[in-house]
Amino acid sequence: MAMISGLSGRKSSTGSPTSPINAEKLESEDDVSQAFLEAVAEEKPHVKPYFSKTIRDLEVVEGSAARFDCKIE
């Protein structure tokens, strides 16, 4: 049996897709969704990123890999 992420072959206690919708449950799920959306909306204002750690010079042989370490905030 193929499984999709987060789903299994077991029946859910919430009912089947063809069962009538419980209006009270739907309203509480909408309240939870709205609260989540409000929490996400309270993020920091967009600012340009800046380098808080200076990139250092690095000597490597031509054609070989080089790794530069920096910190962006």
- pLDDT tens digit sequence for 32-68: 666 666 655 566 777 887 777 877 888 889 999 988 8
pLDDT reported for residue 48: 83
The mean pLDDT value for 17-27 works out to 55
pLDDT reported for residue 64: 93
pLDDT reported for residue 17: 60
pLDDT reported for residue 63: 93
The reported pTM is 0.25
* CA nearest neighbour of 70 among 56, 59, 49: 56
